[in-house]
Structure 1
Amino acid sequence: MNLQQNNEDLLDGGRRLPLVEDFYTIQGEGFHTGKPAYFIRLGGCDVGCRWCDAKMTWNPKLFPPTEVDTIVERACSYPAQAIVITGGEPSLYPLDYLTDALAKKGLQIFLETSGAHELSGHFDWICLSPKKQQPPVPSVFPKADELKVIIETPGDFAWAEENAAKVGERCRLYLQPEWSRYDGMIEAIVEYAKGNPQWNISVQTHKYMRIP
């Protein structure tokens, strides 16, 4: 049995997923900043951003597959009306079973993804955060409701515009300073947004609030 087949068997078509953690908190970034939401964080990522603040998620072998029905049951035990599926990189996995189960409970379903792989599942909102080392697959761009580009250096503004040219007209555009470079880049980001008002600014407010 090859590795891919073994992985598919372990996941049972998406009825089990490698869960890192799930918790109720406040969305700290992007369009839905400030919104109470239940986060489902999946393990496994092949993008590998050097400044990633969730590197513990990268190796999916550290997170044995968890029954999706159990995850959904826990999510429904909280007053959250919105669910954020994040990672790691959630597009690595079949998400139809998870999103269908959440939708049946009347919950809004948001996805955070780099777009590095084809998407599965059904979402009310897709936040696309593209990465240079593994750019999004073309099919993801028209599905994005929100484009959130991390700005680490001045050269990243060109990368932001390159991706903005590929999303739909109704997609919201955000520039977000890389956390460790906030002091060095925020002034340039503010000036760029003032000169290019199609862009909004996102900051990681959950870090200022000291919440997960």
Structure 2
Amino acid sequence: MAAATDPAWLDGGRMLPLVEDFYTIQGEGFHAGKPAYFIRLGGCDVGCRWCDAKYTWNPKLYPPTDVQTVIDRAMSCPAQAIVITGGEPLLYPLGVLTETLRERGLQIFLETSGSHPFSGVFDWVCLSPKRRQPPLDEAFERADELKVIVESEEDFEWAERNAARVGGKCLLFLQPEWSVAEKVMPAIVEYAKAHPQWNISIQTHKYMHIP
């Protein structure tokens, strides 16, 4: 990731490796169903085998994009909220992007594994912890929503370990890994019923056939 995190290359966050940006409906977690403009950045050093966005992992595939170009596109559509995702967006300085969008009156949502230091300003932080590279302490403190991906029943213990570290107002979600969703959903349902502090998140955008 050296090339991606080179300050000269990023120009202080004025340039970022943009994979794609588009207006759609948030499909999962607390804000599911909410129209939002997505900004997806390239580069991830976590490497989950079940990741459905592996095409984002190598930032060298995505030339540096002036964030003002992205901001202008976001402002040209009716979006009231921005979702910054990846890859792992916290690999990069997000201050310029997020502060400018906030000044324009937009809400800023972050989706992160929490494995890198925070930068930027956010109205909502969705923390999705990964075993391969667990979150930093500050990620637990910043999380408004904890979304744990469940591949098997063994992941419930991992979910509880992370839930024990977030703040009392943080919302808790269990989300089935898409490729095994039908298999693990009955166990998730029973677990949530027995532990009602947990909510269930599903990837509704995949049912809606939207990005």
Considering the TM-score relative to the shorter chain, is it more than 0.5? yes
The amino acid of 2:156's aligned partner reads: F
Unaligned runs of 5+ in 2: none
- Compared CA separation, residues 156 and 27, structure 1 to 2 (3 A): same
Question: Any runs of at least 4 consecutive aligned residues in structure 1 with deviations exceeding 3 A, and if so which?
Answer: 3-6
Does residue 207 of structure 2 align to residue 205 of structure 1? Answer: no
Report deviation, 1:42: 0.1
Look up the match of 1:155. Answer: 154
Report deviation, 1:87: 0.1
The amino acid of 2:175's aligned partner reads: Q
Look up the match of 1:56. Answer: 55
Report deviation, 1:77: 0.4
- Residues 69-80 of structure 1 aligned to structure 2 (within 5 Å): 69-80=68-79
The DSSP-based 3-state class of the residue aligned with 1:72 is: helix
Give the paired residue count.
Answer: 210
Name the CA distance, whole Å, in 2 between partners of 1:87 and 1:50: 15
Aligned residues of 2:10 and 2:64 also touching (Cα < 8 A):
yes
Normalising to structure 2: TM-score of the pair? 0.98
Aligned residues of 2:4 and 2:17 also touching (Cα < 8 A):
no
Name the CA distance, whole Å, in 2 between partners of 1:199 and 1:139: 22
- Compared CA separation, residues 4 and 62, structure 1 to 2 (3 A): closer
Pairwise CA RMSD: 1.1
Name the CA distance, whole Å, in 2 between partners of 1:146 and 1:80: 21
- Compared CA separation, residues 160 and 6, structure 1 to 2 (3 A): closer
Look up the match of 1:105. Answer: 104
Name the CA distance, whole Å, in 2 between partners of 1:35 and 1:101: 21
Does residue 135 of structure 2 align to residue 136 of structure 1? Answer: yes
Aligned residues of 2:4 and 2:60 also touching (Cα < 8 A):
no
Aligned residues of 2:3 and 2:9 also touching (Cα < 8 A):
no
- Compared CA separation, residues 203 and 6, structure 1 to 2 (3 A): closer
The DSSP-based 3-state class of the residue aligned with 1:34 is: coil
Name the CA distance, whole Å, in 1 between partners of 2:117 and 2:166: 15
The DSSP-based 3-state class of the residue aligned with 1:211 is: coil
Report deviation, 1:188: 0.2
Unaligned runs of 5+ in 1: none
Deviations 1:24-71 (A, max 9, x none): 000000000000000000000000000000000000000011001111
Aligned residues of 2:42 and 2:86 also touching (Cα < 8 A):
yes
Aligned residues of 2:5 and 2:92 also touching (Cα < 8 A):
no
Report deviation, 1:7: 2.1
Deviations 1:76-99 (A, max 9, x none): 000000000000000100000100
Name the CA distance, whole Å, in 2 between partners of 1:176 and 1:140: 19
Look up the match of 2:84. Answer: 85
Report deviation, 1:183: 1.0
Does residue 27 of structure 2 align to residue 36 of structure 1? Answer: no
Name the CA distance, whole Å, in 1 between partners of 2:156 and 2:51: 19
Deviations 1:169-191 (A, max 9, x none): 00000000000010110000000
Deviations 1:129-161 (A, max 9, x none): 000010001111010000000000110000000
The amino acid of 1:166's aligned partner reads: R
Normalising to structure 1: TM-score of the pair? 0.97
Name the CA distance, whole Å, in 2 between partners of 1:168 and 1:117: 19
Report deviation, 1:4: 6.0
Name the CA distance, whole Å, in 1 between partners of 2:134 and 2:91: 14
- Residues 157-196 of structure 1 aligned to structure 2 (within 5 Å): 157-196=156-195
